[in-house]
Amino acid sequence: MVAFFKEQKKVKESKAFEVGCHELDLHGRGVARENGKVYFIEGLMPEEKARVILKNFKGKTAEAAITKITQLSDKRRESDCEYLSQCGGCPLQHLPEDMALEAKISGIKKVIKRSCNLELPEILSVATSDAHAYRRACRFSVKTDHKKLKLGFRGSKSHDLIAIDSCLTLTDRINSAIDDVKKLINKLECKKRVGHVEFLDSDGSLGILVRINAKVTDADRDLLRSFGEERGFTLAVAETLEHEVDQSQYIKESVLVNEDSLYIKAKDCIIDCTPSSFVQVNRDINEALIDAVIEGCALNAESKVLDMFCGLGNFTLPIAKRAHSVVGVDIVRDMIEKAKANALKNNLDNVSFVNTDLEDKFENQIFAKQNYDVVVMDPGRSGAKRATVFCARMKPKRIVLISCNVLAASRDIVELLKVGYKIESWSVFDMFPRTTHIETMFVFSL
């Protein structure tokens, strides 16, 4: 059934009342049941009580906000982040990590049971990592306020910029560069037009992209290039330009220095990238995910594989080393061009790439008329509705579905169950510790 969005009723005024938490939901929120209603409360954990006020409600469920915790659990974890009250980027810091992970796993089981009428088999594997220094890619917002430059993250549920000096989740190499980057921006002629700075701590150099809402001056370009040369960073700039004909704006991204030294490792492959490239931010979890995908594909020398939503080839290239042939498909042209170059770099001649939108009419394209033994899908948060229907018709022997949103995945799973697929195994990957996110991988066979 399609779930249509309805604006939730907002409560204008609410008197505080006390609730007790008995469990956590998929997102790590405390769940309380009082007088026939179910309340979801951020920041509350089992064995705790709190006075809360209603934020919004829908039928017999409501979201509530804590005004005061009246009974603390002895399992509550003290935060080691000085920005917790402002940033909100890691909202599950109060939970022991095993409790947070169990809540996510339990939540996944409940979603699949409710949406697919299916009890999941015993979980195959759970991949976790250290909650510190795991994040190798990030984007900072930049703002000049009262002649003082701020670089940081947006506040919790607000547009406020929270200036930070370092972040416990970021790699040491990113943290050590933050202060120098702030000094660099302060020297730019167009510093007031800098909107964001992106970091990518690759397996080669540190990549930095400065996004400027204007045309970059020659002087600023020289400053940026020199900064990268002196430190061995891969420095790129994204500037806003105007078309000569209609004066419409467009963004031009260019790497100024050390382009060839930015790359990530994907098992036994090297993948060149740029500072703005999408990569899985958790290096250790990505390696575990690649291994799990390869195992789930059950490859042999005759396997023909289709990798949908392939990106730079994070799965495509390692699979190509173990299969007869692979076709990678993605909507982003720049990523597909980079993926083609990466195939050549890794001496792979059994892989090809197609640039197309898998949520639009793609079924009559040449790649879609071929037969495949295995299909890998790693869509965005909205899921892979059209691609899943395509797979259900084609019926490859195996399908590996990776999802960062189990609610969307459950819809896709229903389509596969209808035509006879069974969930052979499933695994979870805690890509972002202490956050509400979780990656899930389902392996289907006929």
What structural domains and CATH numbers belong to the chain?
Answer: 17-76 (2.40.50.140), 101-130+282-445 (3.40.50.150), 137-261 (2.40.50.1070)
Q: Among all chains, which residue has been given the structure tokens 């609410």?
A: 14
Cα(443)–Cα(409) distance, integer angstroms: 12
Cα(201)–Cα(206) distance, integer angstroms: 5
Q: In terms of C-beta density within 10 A (0-12 exposed, 13-18 middle, 19 or more buried), how is residue 252 classed? A: exposed
Residues of the chain with pLDDT under 70: 1-13
Q: What angle do CA 304, 306, 310 make, to 5 degrees?
A: 140
| Residues counted in the chain | 446
pLDDT given at position 433: 96
Neighbours of 365 (CB within 10 A): 12
291 annotated binding-site participant: no
In contact, 270 and 345? CB cutoff 8 Å: yes
Structure tokens at 191: 């510093």
280 annotated binding-site participant: yes
**What is the per-residue pLDDT across 23-80, written as a single tens digit (0 to 9) for each?**
999 999 999 998 889 999 999 999 999 999 998 888 889 999 999 999 999 999 999 9
* Helices vs strands, H then E, count in the chain: 9, 24
Cα(39)–Cα(193) distance, integer angstroms: 44
432 annotated binding-site participant: no
**What is the per-residue pLDDT across 325-343, written as a single tens digit (0 to 9) for each?**
999 999 999 999 999 999 9
Radius of gyration of the chain (CA): 24
State how beta strands 194-201 and 374-377 pair. Answer: unpaired
Task: Give which of 17, 69, 15 is closest to 42, Cα–Cα.
Answer: 69
Cα(435)–Cα(258) distance, integer angstroms: 34
The gap from C-alpha 202 to its chain's centroid, in whole angstroms, comes to: 17
Q: Among all chains, which residue has been given the structure tokens 């979890």?
A: 285
86 annotated binding-site participant: no
In contact, 19 and 64? CB cutoff 8 Å: yes
pLDDT given at position 96: 96
Q: Give the bridge partners for 347, in sequence order.
A: none
Active site residue 310: no
pLDDT given at position 409: 96
Task: Give which of 381, 388, 319, 316 is closest to 353, Cα–Cα.
Answer: 316
Task: Give which of 432, 416, 412 is closest to 424, Cα–Cα.
Answer: 416
